[in-house]
Chain A
Amino acid sequence: MGGYTYSELGAIFAMQGFAGISLFSVLLLMALGLAIIFGQMGVINMAHGEFMAVGAYTTYFISTITENYLPSLMPIYFFIAIAVSFLFAGLLGYLAEFSLIRHLYKRPLDTLLATWGLSLIMQQSFRSFFGAREVSPTLPDWLLGSYQPTEMIDIPINGMFVLGLTIIVTLVVFYLLFKSSWGLKVRATTQNRVMSGAVGINTQKVDRYTFALGCGIAGIAGAAFTTIASTGPTTGSLYIVDTFMVVVFGGAASLFGTIASAFSIAQAQSILEFFISGSMAKVYTLLALIIILMFKPEGLFASKVRR
């Protein structure tokens, strides 16, 4: 790190740190959905990235319609887009669970392959509907620009917005999972499916809504994603491996672990990126993750259970 003064280093860390926060937000939103699906249900959803893309394309679609037909709504369309992305991705998730996943609960490796098949179909659908080119919605003016606390530091507003959105979604998920009666049912089902069924929980319904919620959150991640990058048919698949690493690294059943792990992975990658090439930053981050996982295969935050 020679050649940089301390204040420069500080500014670099701050700027890359904020760049990392955008990555952190998207990773966390993706990972939250996956942590619910994988951590609570034990389902490997390889199509999770495509559910994110569904959200991103939905946002793009709504932005195009608003721009052409209802330009007066431009400043607020993004909030509608977030809601519709959530609902639409959630609905697709509901259908996927109903038609596909529920037949495979006892075969996790097969779920992985089947959802990979689903992801291929979804990717091709994006290509058929929206073309192979990457698309971006027209963002409302207030999302553009940046905030400059000092001369060297430049914080983009879209990053702040996405962070805010992420915090809200995270809080809601925490509430749903740990305070609501639905969350109690989900956790009960996770720990003992047979017993939960015996005490009158409709485990099928719990599974279906849990999966739908996870996919819906991926849809929100997609809406957030459009503010920082453009979307193509394979966008989702670019993030799926990272997202899985976030969940596994954090300890599959721990939401707190997911947050900590998304933060550390995003920051490590983002700060490394400044000093070495982006590709090598990714290589080192992933390698470090694998090595840590070798010593702590159950992830960072996993509770000890008597088996």
Chain B
Amino acid sequence: MNYFYEKVMGGKSGLTGFIILAVVILVAFPLFLDIFRLNLVGKYLTYAFPAVSLVLLWGYGGILSLGQGVFFGLGGYAMAMFLKLEASSPENTAIQSTPGIPDFMDWNQLTELPWFWVPFESFTFTLLAVIIVPAIFAYIIGAAMFKRRVGGVYFAIITQVIAVILTVLIVGQQGYIGGINGITDLRTLHGWDITTDNAKVIFYYICCLLLLSIVIVGRLILTSKFGSLLLAMRDKEDRVRFSGYDVSHFKIFIFCVASIFSAIGGALFTLQVGFMSPSFVGIVPSIEMVIFCAVGGRMSLIGAIYGALLINFGKTAFSETFPQLWLFLMGGLFIAVVMFFPNGLAGIWNTYGHYITDRLKQLKTVFVMKPSPQEAKQDLG
């Protein structure tokens, strides 16, 4: 337990950060936001999953994946396929020429459910698929790349190409997977209406709890010897290899973990937003996930969550009022973070945060200790 407190939670300051995050998302948001906004925040929090995954993969491992949207999408589509099948019961789709299959299949003259849809009639299978399918996919990509020692910018470009391939594939296969519109009109989960306010609140909490869990899992990984090795591989890959480690296994593993984290986010996205489409799979969303992570701080699991929240708040606020400015701002943010704040918000906090905490402590002494007037003056001046 002591180990858990000191190492995993990072002692007092680490635990404080974690508790503040938990209070903000579990208490403050539900208290102050109406259901529409809360649902929106829930959506933003699903983007935090890939952002956290990138802290492990990119911040610590030095492996920049520009394809986390692929895994987000795989998780999201798995969930969407299950919900779509439930929404396409023969009663609901009686007007179609082939009742019982999703509407877009019917529009594309399919008369039978394709084989890869069939297992998604089971909820258990779907939950497993959300985890296992991305993991297997990541394993194949990772094994192929890392065993051949493809890394650095080459890995980044190839993951980006994979994101392109998957997007083009989904868009091109309208009859099988819904094409550019994605999988829409998802209404119920085991007969439970997921569009009600009640359901949205429940999904929001599930999302928060899972997010906090992956932060803890992430910290467990980072505080183990594996975590030190990740940093070691990032800085001196050859030294690790010539210390007797099979570097590729470690990279494959962390890539798989990152893919699972992203996929969980994707599945939660589908549940909260009620649809899934290729626009969350391709290059642009994938690279946005990287910027969430970079803005929050590529070395900080919790920072990545704030990064995802902040940018998405900003995006919503700006695209409502100044849609033109948003891309300028986003582009400027990319440049500024990379050039001036490579450790993002977390880095700024670590550098300047103590000014704020010191000041707070000073104020506390001023008001609690009732010092002499001169002292108080000095402190405030």
Neighbouring B residues of A289 by C-beta, 8 Å: 161
Residues 152-170 (chain B) with a chain A CB within 8 angstroms: 152-154, 156-158, 160-162, 164-165, 168-169
Task: Evaluate whether A121 and B327 lie within 8 angstroms (CB atoms) in the complex, with A104-B339, A248-B154, A297-B150 already known.
Answer: yes
Contacting pair B327 A109 (CB below 8 A): no
* A116 CB within 8 Å of chain B: yes
Residues 97-153 (chain A) with a chain B CB within 8 angstroms: 100, 103-104, 107-110, 112-114, 116-124, 127-128
Contacting pair B168 A109 (CB below 8 A): no
Task: Evaluate whether A44 and B291 lie within 8 angstroms (CB atoms) in the complex, with A117-B332, A241-B164 already known.
Answer: no
* B342 CB within 8 Å of chain A: yes
Neighbouring A residues of B283 by C-beta, 8 Å: 237, 241
Min CB gap A137→B, angstroms: 25
Task: Evaluate whether A279 and B327 lie within 8 angstroms (CB atoms) in the complex, with A120-B334, A294-B150 already known.
Answer: no
Min CB gap A75→B, angstroms: 38
Nearest to B327 among chain A residues (CB) is: A124
What is the CA–CA distance of A103 and B165 in the complex, to the nearest angstrom? 33
* B208 CB within 8 Å of chain A: no
Interface of B is mostly: helix
* A283 CB within 8 Å of chain B: yes
Neighbouring B residues of A120 by C-beta, 8 Å: 327-328, 330-331, 334
Neighbouring A residues of B342 by C-beta, 8 Å: 110
Contacting pair B172 A293 (CB below 8 A): no
* A245 CB within 8 Å of chain B: yes
Residues 318-338 (chain B) with a chain A CB within 8 angstroms: 324, 327-328, 330-335, 337-338
* A185 CB within 8 Å of chain B: no
Q: Which of A117, A241, A280, A297 is within 8 Å of B161, CB to CB?
A: A241
* B240 CB within 8 Å of chain A: no
Nearest to A277 among chain B residues (CB) is: B172
* A187 CB within 8 Å of chain B: no
For chain B, which range describes its interface: under 10, 10 to 19, 20 to 34, or 35 or more residues? 35 or more
Contacting pair B331 A283 (CB below 8 A): no
Residues 252-292 (chain A) with a chain B CB within 8 angstroms: 277, 279-280, 282-283, 286-287, 289-290
Contacting pair A117 B157 (CB below 8 A): no
Neighbouring B residues of A127 by C-beta, 8 Å: 324, 327
* A244 CB within 8 Å of chain B: yes
What is the CA–CA distance of A124 and B164 in the complex, to the nearest angstrom? 22
Neighbouring B residues of A104 by C-beta, 8 Å: 338-339
- Given A104-B338, A241-B157, 13 new contacts (CB under 8 A): A113-B290, A118-B334, A120-B327, A120-B331, A122-B331, A124-B328, A279-B169, A283-B165, A283-B169, A286-B161, A286-B165, A290-B158, A297-B148
Seen from chain B, the residues whose Cβ lies within 8 Å of a Cβ on chain A are 58, 62, 64, 144-145, 148-150, 152-154, 156-158, 160-162, 164-165, 168-169, 171-172, 283, 287, 290-291, 294, 324, 327-328, 330-335, 337-339, 342
Can you identify 25 A-B contacts, CB atoms within 8 angstroms? A100-B335, A104-B339, A108-B152, A112-B64, A113-B287, A113-B338, A117-B330, A117-B331, A117-B333, A117-B335, A118-B331, A119-B331, A120-B327, A121-B331, A127-B327, A241-B161, A244-B157, A248-B154, A279-B171, A282-B165, A283-B168, A283-B169, A286-B164, A294-B144, A297-B154
